Amino acid sequence: MKRALIAAAAFAALVPAHAQQAQPTPELQALDDALPGTLVNDPSRMDWSFYGTEQKTKNVQDPAIPGGGAAVQVTVARAGANIYDSGANVPLRTGIAAGRDYTVALYARTLKSDAPGGKGRIGVRFQQNAAPYDGFGDQTLEVGSDWTLYEVTARADKAIPAGQAIVGLQLAGAKQVIEIGQVIIVEGATSIRTVKRVETAAAPDPELPPQLKDKGRMLNDPANRDWAIYGEGQATKPTVTNVYGRVGTLFSIAAAGSAPHVSGASIPLKEGIKDGDILTIAVLARTLSAATPDGQGLLSVRIQKNAAPYDGFLDKQVKVGPNWRLYQLRTQAGMDIAAGSAQLTLHTGAAQQEIEIGPVYVIREEPVLTSAN
């Protein structure tokens, strides 16, 4: 089955490339340009090589299927002695280079399964499609009933020549009916959930979110990503949010610090602050992972001076969930901060975590003027 290419935006916020070979079509090149790493398969093709006597397949199309509106439905009549007794082989356009990272991403859901918990089973393996069928990265996905994007990443411990490199989807792990959407495979990236080319993929924050309109006077430039990033053990990279298509930054914290403020970012304010000002601070954010009891990220927010001893106020910690949300805080300034000296700081050091932060808004509420009768 040949389907229209997945738009990169379909993977929401879908980032270094190894191969320099151009993609064979403009459509594939456009997708490659938007993805992390280098695209090494043709995601528009779903006529994979299916094998195994205990399974049947049929193509399904529905606009509700994420990532392109098409999938392959696989019915496995009975579990095999091995998970690889039936399945599908997805070909790579290139070979596999030893020492490189490879990621396969696919949407899937389970319609019925006799496996414990009722979840389907998909074994994923990067492999040479020739004897002795060497491979790496073996992982079994437990697939729920809702369409979900699954990723498997592995570092190649061997080279596989072009024409023999595949990703095997092994399906004999249960008696099941499972649907698999289009598959994206990239080299040189450990996820496709962030975007490589921010400068062409996102607009520079054209207008306020509706929740913030008419709140007051903006004290910062939400489109300015020239933030002062600081702290050891913290890495950042640019992304594009899937809310409004705006520029974001992914903060990866390797380990919790001694205090939240040991790492983070400082955002300059264009105007000063007066004691008694009523401020609204809004941060668009989500958590990709967090080593916290509830899996939520921890982000601390503070208004302060940009020089020692960094006097300030607010000091509010926010729990950041896995879905994009505009977190709003309202506070009253407890001091004067002169123009050119005021900043908003975002402290990220409270946990080992990955937090993606989009635009940030600092607004001073203005008094409503009414005309005299």
Pairwise CA distance, residues 362 & 344, whole Å? 8
Which tens digit of pLDDT belongs to each residue from 316-346? Answer: 999 999 888 899 999 999 999 999 999 999 9
Contact status, residue 281 vs residue 361, Cβ threshold 8 Å = yes
Pairwise CA distance, residues 32 & 22, whole Å? 9
Confidence of residue 106 (pLDDT cuts 50, 70, 90): very high
Which tens digit of pLDDT belongs to each residue from 269-309? Answer: 999 999 999 999 999 999 989 999 999 999 999 999 999 89
Kindly state the percentage of the chain with pLDDT values over 70: 87
Q: Which residues contact 281 (CB under 8 A, 6 or more apart)?
A: 301, 303, 314, 328, 329, 330, 331, 344, 360, 361, 362, 363
Q: Output the pLDDT for position 261.
A: 95
- Choose among 209, 194, 215, 260: nearest CA to 233: 260
Which tens digit of pLDDT belongs to each residue from 216-253? Answer: 999 998 888 889 999 988 999 887 665 544 678 999 99
In the predicted model, what is the mean pLDDT of the chain?
A: 86
- Choose among 72, 60, 74, 59: nearest CA to 173: 74
Over residues 102-110, mean pLDDT: 94
Confidence of residue 119 (pLDDT cuts 50, 70, 90): very high
Over residues 123-143, mean pLDDT: 94
> What are the CA-CA distances from residue 315 to residues 236, 300, 353 (Å)?
23, 7, 20
61-64-67-71 Cα dihedral, nearest 10 degrees: -30
Contact status, residue 96 vs residue 162, Cβ threshold 8 Å = no
For residue 97, give the 3-state DSSP assignment.
coil
Contact status, residue 342 vs residue 307, Cβ threshold 8 Å = no
- Choose among 267, 263, 262, 242: nearest CA to 252: 263
Q: Output the pLDDT for position 7.
A: 40
Over residues 167-188, mean pLDDT: 95
Q: Output the pLDDT for position 367.
A: 66
- Which is it for strands 228-230 and 234-240: parallel, antiparallel or unpaired? unpaired
pLDDT value at 164 more than 60:
yes
